[in-house]
Copies of this chain bind each other. A is one copy, B any other.
Amino acid sequence: MPEIGIIVGSDSDLPKIENCFNILEEFGVDFEIIISSAHRTPEKTKEWVSSAQEKGIKVIIAAAGGAAHLPGVAASHTTLPVIGIPVETKISGGLDSILSILQMPSGIPVATMPAGKAGGANAALLAISILSLVNNDYSEKLSRYRKKMAEKIFDRNAELSASGYKNYIKALKENK
Contact = CB atoms under 8 A, between A and B. Distances in A.
Interface of A: 9-12, 14-15, 18-19, 21, 33-42, 44, 46, 58, 66-67, 69, 72-73, 75-77, 79-81, 83, 88-96, 98-118, 121-123, 125-126, 129-134, 139, 142-143, 145-146, 149-150, 153-154, 156-157, 160, 165-166, 168-169, 172-173
A135 B100 CA distance: 31
A150 B42 CA distance: 9
Contact of A73 (B18, B69, B88, B112): B69
A18 B139 CA distance: 31
A149 B38 CA distance: 12
Given A35-B157, A150-B40, A105 B46 contact: no
Contacts of A115: 90-91, 102-103
Contacts of A46: 42
A37 to B, nearest CB: 6
A154 B11 CA distance: 11
B98 A126 contact: no
Contact of A104 (B10, B90, B122): B122
A157 B45 CA distance: 12
A111 B134 contact: no
A73 B94 CA distance: 21
A142 B11 CA distance: 23
Contact of A69 (B72, B126, B133, B166): B72
B142 A67 contact: no
Given A35-B157, A99-B67, A112-B102, A91 B92 contact: yes
Given A11-B156, A15-B172, A133-B130, A107 B67 contact: no
